[in-house]
Structure 1
Amino acid sequence: MTDLNLPTLPPNSTTSDGWRARIALTFGVRREKTRVIASQRLGPLSVQRAFYPEDSVCHSYLLHPPGGVVGGDRLYVKVQVNSQAHALITTPGATKFYRSGGRLAHYHQHLQVDEDAALEWLPQENIFFPDSQLRMQTEIDLGATSRFIGWEIQCLGRPVINEHFDRGQIRSSLKLSIDGKPLLIEHFNSLNDELQRSSSGLRGSPMQATMFITSSDDVLLEQIRDTLLSLKHDQIVSGATRLDNLIVVRFLGPQTEPLLQQMVKVWQTVRPSVMGREACLPRIWAT
């Protein structure tokens, strides 16, 4: 069994300060299918029964039953994908970071993909409610022959009801490493709505999203750019670049639905080349 390297947390899953929750999942090949071969959890974080809409690929849905994160919560998610395994992980809905009441919430995600393993990390958006206070950290560790398609979607306030992130603070960081060498380190930091208003930040948009695709293929990069041009939207700004063997695709937009539609189209474009399979949408996205 893989060493899950879970952080030390108090034995109780909840305290007066908030939830203490963690989940660690290891995916490996058993009987010609990718399966969850090890699982440890504390508190409300859990995973649904695996689905197999495309035979050997394991589709998993990560759940946080309380429905959102509040001040004082500390959540830790670790995913390990062993060699030859292929997992697709998503969430049944947005992760909501609620008003904190002055307390700080912590959310740490660590994804580790071994050589010759594949992970598709496709969670739905993070919604930051006004007056939320959050420290969020995402670490992605890949091998030289790992295959990875992942994204992060950040939403300041709830634009669908014209709600702005006019108070609160978000400090989010992401580090992606290949063979132990950092290839991409970036931050998403916002004090109140400063980032949204900044011409060098979100340019007035409440939503920002980034896709990460392990590929050094310039042909695929041009296919992505052609896809983005074909999806041209008056209010969505997008672009794709390559950093060595990583393609990074960025989006700015006004609302979740049109932005997510474009990201799914890019995923459908790249999946046959990166994963060797046509896109198979998680069934939860249709509910």
Structure 2
Amino acid sequence: MIQVSSDQSPNPADACPSGGPRGDGWRARLELGFAAGPDRTVLRHRRHYGPLRVQRTFHPEGDPCHSYLLHPPGGVVGGDTIEIDVESATGAHALVTTPAAGKFYRSAGETARQHQRFRVGDGAALEWLPALNILHAGARVALHSRFDIAPGGRLLAWDLLGLGRPGSGDHFEHGSCDLALDVVAGERRLLGERVHLEGGAALLQAPWGLQGRRYLATLIASPGTGEMLDALRGQAAGEAPDPLMGCTLLAGGATADAREGGLLVCRWHAHSGEALWEAMIRAWFLLRPLVMGRPASAPRIWST
């Protein structure tokens, strides 16, 4: 089953990968702190525990600092916990992506957990653009993301989810996923959402549900505007019917003061992971100049 609540009314998988103690699961934590330097953003704070790493930083477009986060190479199983904490401090501009999909494997009963906390400082910018998270049949997963945006902060972020690997015969017949998404601007709660996905549930295939589309994505942008909303809808109208896309503007709509933080929320459902990824890239190329005030400069890793 799928359950959504919002403050805004809104084969290979059978193998247990190696790469860490599995008795009670392992814990991995990564902290990244970006700060504004004299002429460009720098990664001032980096701390990791367990199999989470970040490669060296890149500056392909001047000030913004691009970083590639490396997930555990063996994948994640029940009982494992991943914690990611990213801060883009006052005046900084950070872009964080991942070079490969995250993989969550079947569980013997325990839940695999991934907690993500992002803070955007006063006048700062953060782009969180990870690759797909793939949930194999039998996975039990809880994914929680929280974004805190200070006045004048700018955010462009997405998360992509694949329920099984249909092309390989994995249709996520069993397993579960609990998703939580919170967005807070100053003292104002813009979005609080909870979703429960159950493997094998009728609505994964039903015409009134996901219609067999096992690849899902959510994109958020702040400050959001009516111009962004119209541009995205116009772009989607000229594209193929897969993936399906819908978007809305929360917290004041098109007249929301940017300092208050209008929030653009967009969803995609697709039959193909590749089609979903390509749709997200097109959306990012469209939105980045409007949200960040600079042209899109794709991370190099996206071309490999």
Shift of 1:200: 5.1
Structure 1 alignment gaps of length 5 or more = 1-12
2:246 is the counterpart of 1:229: no
2:36 is the counterpart of 1:29: yes
Q: Distance in 2 between matches of 1:189 and 1:127?
A: 16
2:276 is the counterpart of 1:259: yes
The letter for the 2-side match of 1:265 is R
| TM superposition score normalised by structure 1 | 0.91
Question: What secondary structure is seen at the aligned counterpart in 1 of 2:275?
Answer: helix
Aligned length: 274
Aligned to 1:108: 115
Does structure 1 conserve the Cα–Cα contact (< 8 Å) formed by 2:221 and 2:264?
A: yes
Aligned to 1:284: 301
Residue number among 291, 301, 304 corresponding to 1:274 in the alignment: 291
Aligned to 2:86: 79
Does structure 2 conserve the Cα–Cα contact (< 8 Å) formed by 1:33 and 1:56?
A: yes
Shift of 1:255: 1.1
Does structure 2 conserve the Cα–Cα contact (< 8 Å) formed by 1:125 and 1:153?
A: yes
Does structure 1 conserve the Cα–Cα contact (< 8 Å) formed by 2:90 and 2:122?
A: yes
Residue identity over aligned pairs, in percent, reads 39
Residue number among 88, 96, 103 corresponding to 2:95 in the alignment: 88
Aligned to 2:216: 208
Aligned to 2:189: 182
Structure 1, 184-193 or 69-78: larger mean CA deviation: 184-193
Does structure 2 conserve the Cα–Cα contact (< 8 Å) formed by 1:152 and 1:210?
A: yes
Q: C-alpha root-mean-square deviation of aligned residues, in Å?
A: 1.6
Give a deviation string over 1:184-240, Cα, whole Å, max 9, x none: 122231122225135554232111111101134212211111111122x23321122
2:201 is the counterpart of 1:196: no
Residue number among 136, 139, 148 corresponding to 1:141 in the alignment: 148
Query: Structure 1 segments of 4 or more deviating over 6 A?
Result: none
| TM superposition score normalised by structure 2 | 0.86
Does structure 2 conserve the Cα–Cα contact (< 8 Å) formed by 1:14 and 1:43?
A: no
Give a deviation string over 1:82-130, Cα, whole Å, max 9, x none: 0110000000011110111222211100011111000010001110000
Question: What secondary structure is seen at the aligned counterpart in 2 of 1:251?
Answer: strand
Aligned to 1:10: none
- Pair 1:199–1:184, CA change in 2 (3 A): farther
Question: What secondary structure is seen at the aligned counterpart in 2 of 1:49?
Answer: coil
Structure 2 alignment gaps of length 5 or more = 1-19, 252-261
Q: Distance in 1 between matches of 2:282 and 2:193?
A: 24
- Pair 1:58–1:67, CA change in 2 (3 A): farther
Shift of 1:45: 0.6
Does structure 2 conserve the Cα–Cα contact (< 8 Å) formed by 1:92 and 1:285?
A: yes
Does structure 2 conserve the Cα–Cα contact (< 8 Å) formed by 1:137 and 1:174?
A: yes
